[in-house]
């Protein structure tokens, strides 16, 4: 798999892409709301909030990439995972970069990694000799 085929949108199921984008965006927004409430209650817990946000973004996009890639079952799982995680990337860049700078960029990269890894798991395993 090369980078060009990863972003090739030809012959994809656009309903699955829209569902993946929606699930990813909803997951990110709910996570941000819950963590904001946690941060309001305890201002000294910023390190814990950042750690939970990174883990939640990765796991959320991992599951989204896995679900959309598995439902498509056309051997293009990584593409579905990466494109679905773009909603979390956009939310991260518009919400977290103005507030935290480099942390927002790191969260966007973690979202892409989660979607890609979830999509990779949908590919069939090649038997070893």
Q: Is residue 61 part of a domain?
A: yes
The pLDDT assigned to 66 comes to 95
Residue with tokens 């000294």: 44
End-to-end CA distance of the chain: 21
Q: How far is CA 60 from the centre of its chain?
A: 6
Closest listed residue to residue 62, CA positions, set 46, 82, 38 = 82
Q: Is residue 100 part of a domain?
A: yes
Q: Is residue 51 part of a domain?
A: yes
Q: Is residue 75 part of a domain?
A: yes
Domain carrying residue 74? 14-120
- The residue-averaged pLDDT of 66-89 equals 92
The pLDDT assigned to 27 comes to 95
Q: Is 38 within 8 Å of 47 (Cβ atoms)?
A: no
Two tokens, residue 94:
């518009």
pLDDT band of residue 53 (cuts 50, 70, 90) is: very high
Model confidence pLDDT, tens digit, residues 27-42: 999 999 999 998 888 8
Q: What is the pTM of this model?
A: 0.89
Q: Is residue 33 part of a domain?
A: yes
Q: Percent of the chain having pLDDT more than 70?
A: 98
Two tokens, residue 118:
């979830």
Q: Is residue 3 part of a domain?
A: no
- How many structural domains are present in the chain? 1
- The residue-averaged pLDDT of 58-74 equals 94
pLDDT band of residue 92 (cuts 50, 70, 90) is: very high
């Amino acid at each position: 798999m090369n980078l060009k085929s990863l972003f090739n949108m030809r012959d994809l199921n656009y309903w699955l892409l829209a569902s993946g984008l929606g699930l990813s965006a909803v997951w990110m927004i709910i996570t941000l709301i819950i963590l904001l409430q946690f941060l309001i209650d305890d201002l000294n817990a910023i390190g814990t909030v950042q750690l939970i946000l990174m883990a939640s973004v990765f796991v959320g996009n991992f599951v989204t990439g896995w679900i959309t890639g598995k439902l498509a079952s056309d051997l293009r799982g990584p593409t579905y995972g990466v494109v679905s995680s773009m909603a979390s990337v956009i939310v991260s860049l518009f919400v977290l970069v103005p507030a935290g700078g480099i942390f927002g960029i790191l969260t966007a990269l973690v979202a892409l990694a989660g979607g890609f890894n979830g999509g990779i798991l949908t590919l069939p395993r090649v038997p070893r000799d």
